[in-house]
Amino acid sequence: MGAKLNLDKLDLQIISEMMEDAQISYADLGKKLFVSGGTIHVRIKKLQEHGIVKGTKLNVDLKALGYDITAFVGIFLEKSSLYDTVAKDLRKIPEIVRLNYTTGNYSMFIEVVCKDINQLRFVLHDALQKIKGIERTETFISLDESFNRKVEVVQDVA
């Protein structure tokens, strides 16, 4: 971590490729980007040392595992000073996978992933309502996810 770091085009190309497929071998990725596998290795090591690359994660089809339902919930707080304590309580609910403190209409914004409508109802009506400091909530259930991708880190993609 830390220190200033200049990333060149090769670094960004490596990140871009591996954001989609982290299993590609250094040799193959080197071929694709016209450098040796050793160079890929050195660059990735540098990116890891600087905390830009933090590891790899398994890409799991949550729908296939039965997690069919995604909902977004805007939360109004009684007082915005309650953010920290409410955040702590929200973190304890495993179905809540993301929490953001936001400008605009809502004080905070969460994403909920569930296996069925009953589980979602439980989270929204039982779990959330038990938390002190939440004034009210507005729920948006996702009927379809058109896309969910990573931001482009290089302009001219391979």
Partner DNA sequence: ATTGAAAGAGTCTCAGT
Partner DNA sequence: ACTGAGACTCTTTCAAT
Cβ contact 127:80 at 8 Å = no
Q: How many CA atoms lie within 13 A of 121 on its CB side?
A: 3
- What is the secondary structure of 61-93 as a DSSP string? -TTTTT--EEEEEEEEESSGGGHHHHHHHHHT-
Among 4, 118, 132, 147, binds a copy of itself (CB under 8 A): 147
Complex with a copy of itself: residue 23 or 81, whichever CB lies closer: 23
Site string for DNA, 44-83 (x = CB under 7 A): xx--------------------------------------
Among 101, 117, 125, 130, binds a copy of itself (CB under 8 A): 101
Residues whose CB is less than 8 angstroms from the CB of residue 134 and which lie 6 or more positions away in sequence, other chains included:
75, 76, 77, 78, 86, 128
Does residue 102 bind a copy of itself (CB under 8 A)? yes
Does residue 36 bind DNA (CB under 7 A)? yes
Q: Which residues bind a copy of itself (CB under 8 A)?
A: 7, 15, 18-23, 50-62, 64-65, 67, 70, 72, 74, 87, 90-91, 94-95, 97-106, 109, 113, 138-153
